[in-house]
Amino acid sequence: MNKIFVSLIAASSVALMVGCGGSVSALTKDHVSKSDVAVQQATQTLGNTEAGAIELQRAKDNLAQAKAAVAAKNDKAADRFASMAQLDAELAVAKSQTASTRKAADEVLASVETLRNEAARGTP
């Protein structure tokens, strides 16, 4: 479903751009390579963690579409896919951070609870 959707969007974007001609600007190329770096960093940050994995995959898909758009000399589509790839990469990292911080918080709260119970038992 995702693939069909993505290629349809790409196809429609290309179709819309037909007639404009020209080649991809340096600005767009820079945008795409920045997204590439963001996706790579997110991949490293996440490692094998589950949280954010879906968003990271989406970021990779969007990056691939951005690169395809560059190859097809489609500036606007490349920029937009690059933007979405970057946002998805950012969201993936944010989700994994939330998950790890949440886990740490739950552990601290549980340890406080345990300590309280022990302190209560220890009181004569």
Give residues in contact with another protein (CB under 8 A).
1-2, 4-5, 8-9, 12-13, 15-16, 54, 80, 83-84, 87-88, 90-91, 94-95, 97-98, 101-102, 104-105, 108-109, 111-112, 115-116, 119, 122-124
* CB-nearer residue toward another protein: 9 or 53: 9
Cβ closest to another protein, residue 37 vs residue 105: 105
Shortest separation between residue 102's beta carbon and another protein, angstroms: 5
Provide the H-helix boundaries in 18-74.
26-46, 53-71
Minimum distance between the CB of residue 14 and another protein, rounded to whole angstroms?
Answer: 12
73 Ramachandran zone, left/alpha/beta (phi>0; psi -120 to 50):
left
The whole-angstrom separation of Cα 107 and Cα 100 is 11
Q: Would you say 37 or 54 has its CB closer to another protein?
A: 54
Return contacts of 23-29, CB within 8 angstroms, 24+ apart.
23/73, 24/70, 24/73, 24/74, 24/75, 24/78, 25/75, 28/70, 28/75, 28/78, 28/79, 28/82, 29/70
> Whose Cβ is closer to another protein: residue 48's or residue 123's?
123
